């Protein structure tokens, strides 16, 4: 599989990642043009079979994290398989792994020492809690990243069980942070020739991703926190309102007729709220949410979702539709922005598919996403092209079961 043209063309990435957080980071690099070689064990990536319909090709979750990569299947427990990986690391510009800390070390590949390999690679470890802490050995997935950093606490109503966001926000946020760090380190290497080791932890990323609550909690020791349901701790109005055929999000800020709050009041014929002492100022509205939300809810309830959004946006206030996932990926907005793209499929037995694109697509930094690889699909090609092995040597590795190839998706 040839990497699509892009700003990272010519860069070789050795990818030990699996599941979501690590693979999504390296997918960013692949779609920017890097050649990403995914190292898989004989059992394959943990999410290969999740939501997979074999007759339709790859599973969407796996594809979202591993589009555009090459896969080689290697048994790291086999001495010859270990040597294959060792040789690949000598040719890597970037190495990414998201095992629990200590895993690569047990295989004889200390991530912090890999920076001394011949090409002085950028080495990135993605994990739940990084290295050197009591929590470093913890298993970590997306919900733990949400829960440990204050996010889950704030989602839901006071006194009730909190909610978890089920869309992988901690995984993908961590992946994007890792990709940014890798790109910065590549620029640094261009300047000084040094490899760099990056320790990217989901817990660190999610703490920093909150730009509303956690900064205040860090600044003021006396702030009392409680979940506010549909409300915001510092802004009112802010929330989801029910229209006659769906839901809308509405937000208003400031005071006076020229603020978004003022324009909202005029738009819903509630100008009296601009002079009412309970609702005119931002601080007052936080203490009188019921008054504000009640007026907005009554106005919204008699109109359709799209009518509400059109009217409020035309009035200069802040409103948008609550879209289902199906509505979102099929919305004309994403058609114009190339947010969902057809995938180039070179397999006669796989139907043409669409995939969610990288968010840099409209800026021209990435091409159309290529399909993800089958497990070990590129083993033979990588051994020949990258490591220069003869056909006889490659055949011997297959015979010894040090490497493998599969023509199945899960």
Q: What is the pTM of this model?
A: 0.94
What tens digit of pLDDT does each residue of 178-200 get? 999 999 999 999 999 999 999 99
Helix/strand/coil (H, E, C) string of 171-239?
HHHHHHHHHHHHHHHHHHHHHHCCCEEEEEEHHHHHHHHCCCCHHHHHHCCCCCCCCECCCCCCCCCEE
Sign of CA dihedral 373, 183, 329, 205: positive
Tokens of 395: 């055949």
C-alpha to C-alpha distance for 255 and 277, rounded to whole angstroms: 11
What is the CATH class of 238-323?
alpha beta
Q: Report strand pairing: 12-15 vs 94-97.
A: parallel
State the sign of the Cα–Cα–Cα–Cα dihedral 69, 72, 76, 81.
negative
Give domain limits for the chain. 12-208+333-404, 238-323
Q: Which CATH class is domain 12-208+333-404?
A: alpha beta
- For the chain, residues with pLDDT lower than 70 are 1-5, 346-352
pLDDT at 4: 47
**Cα–Cα–Cα angle for 154, 249, 363, nearest 5°?**
95
């Amino acid at each position: 599989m040839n990497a699509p043209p892009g700003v990272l063309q010519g860069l070789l990435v050795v990818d030990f990642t699996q599941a979501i957080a690590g693979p999504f980071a390296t997918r960013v690099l692949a779609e920017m043009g890097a050649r990403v070689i995914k190292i898989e064990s004989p059992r394959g990536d943990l999410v290969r079979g999740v939501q997979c319909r074999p007759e339709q090709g790859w599973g969407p979750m796996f594809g979202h994290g591993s589009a555009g990569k090459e896969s080689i299947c290697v048994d790291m427990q086999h001495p010859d398989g270990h040597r294959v990986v060792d040789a690949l690391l000598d040719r890597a510009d970037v190495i990414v792994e998201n095992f629990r800390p200590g895993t690569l070390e047990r295989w004889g590949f200390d991530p912090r020492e890999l920076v001394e390999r011949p090409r002085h690679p950028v080495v990135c470890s993605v994990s739940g809690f990084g290295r050197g802490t009591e929590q470093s050995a913890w298993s970590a997935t997306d919900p733990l990243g949400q829960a440990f950093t204050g996010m889950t606490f704030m989602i839901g109503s006071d006194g009730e069980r909190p909610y978890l966001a089920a869309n992988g926000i901690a995984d993908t946020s961590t992946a994007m942070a890792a990709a940014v760090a890798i790109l910065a380190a590549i620029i640094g290497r261009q300047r000084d020739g040094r490899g760099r080791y990056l320790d990217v932890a989901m817990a660190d990323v999610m703490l920093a991703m909150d730009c509303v609550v956690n900064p205040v909690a860090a600044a003021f020791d006396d702030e009392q926190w409680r979940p506010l349901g549909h409300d915001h701790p510092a802004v009112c109005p802010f929330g989801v309102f029910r229209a006659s055929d769906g839901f809308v999000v509405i937000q208003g800020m400031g005071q006076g007729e020229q603020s978004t709050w003022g324009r909202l009041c005029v738009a819903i014929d509630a100008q009296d709220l601009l002079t009412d002492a309970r609702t005119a100022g931002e601080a007052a509205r936080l203490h009188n949410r019921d008054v504000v939300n009640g007026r907005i809810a009554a106005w919204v309830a008699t109109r359709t979702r799209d009518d509400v959004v059109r009217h409020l946006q035309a009035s200069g206030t802040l409103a948008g539709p609550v879209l289902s996932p199906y509505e979102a990926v099929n919305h004309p907005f994403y058609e114009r922005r190339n947010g969902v793209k057809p995938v180039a499929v070179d397999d006669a037995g796989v139907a043409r598919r669409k995939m969610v694109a990288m968010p840099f697509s409209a800026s021209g930094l990435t091409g159309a996403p290529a399909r993800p690889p089958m497990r070990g699909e590129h083993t033979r090609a990588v051994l020949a092209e990258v490591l220069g092995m003869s056909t006889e040597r490659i055949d011997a590795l297959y015979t010894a079961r040090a490497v493998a190839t599969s023509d199945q998706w899960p």
